[in-house]
Amino acid sequence: MIIESRELPLKHNISVKKTEKYWKGLEEGKIYKTVCKNCGKEYSPPQAECTFCRCETDWVEISGVGVVEAFTTIHTIPKGFEWSEPYTIVIARFGNVRVMGWGKNVKVGDKVRAYTAKDAAGVWKVYLEVV
């Protein structure tokens, strides 16, 4: 049995004060992770403080080549993204962190480089390109 519900579009206000460097970095073509100053735990997406020891973190740019660990292609476009075609979300490992981004024509094990660009709606995103 299926019960049809009404459409519930959601809009969130997201505070980015503690992670502002990440968002500004995307505009500058940089992708950051954070590393705990105390225990060395690495975070991507970045966190302002370590969830293990509650210490502050340092900002470190992610670079080099990553390896695709997983991906999925979205064919059912969510509300608010009607301008979009089906798209692929990719998760790739860069050292000790995983980076999520948009990609095309990937498979698990592919080597990728990460870069930033604006999407059709003008939002800065991370893209992963097979090398």
Per-residue pLDDT tens over the stretch 99-125 = 999 999 999 999 999 999 998 888 899
97 neighbors 33 (Cβ within 8 angstroms): yes
Quick one: pLDDT at residue 82? Answer: 72
Structure tokens at 56: 């502050």
61 CB-contact burial (10 Å; exposed 0-12 / middle 13-18 / buried 19+): exposed
More confident residue, 18 or 34: 34
Quick one: pLDDT at residue 6? Answer: 66
Domains of the chain by range and CATH? 15-61 (no CATH), 64-131 (2.40.50.140)
Write phi, then psi, for 21 (nearest 5 degrees): -60, -35
SS3 63: coil
pTM of the predicted model, to two decimals? 0.84
9-29 pLDDT tens trace: 666 666 677 889 999 999 999
Quick one: pLDDT at residue 4? Answer: 74
CA distances from 26 to 19, 20, 37, 111, 115 (A): 12, 10, 23, 21, 8
Q: Is the peptide bond before 45 cis (omega within 30 degrees of 0)?
A: yes
The rounded percent of the chain whose pLDDT value lies above 70 is: 90
Position 84 pLDDT exceeds 80: no
Q: Which residues pair with 114 in a beta bridge?
A: 128
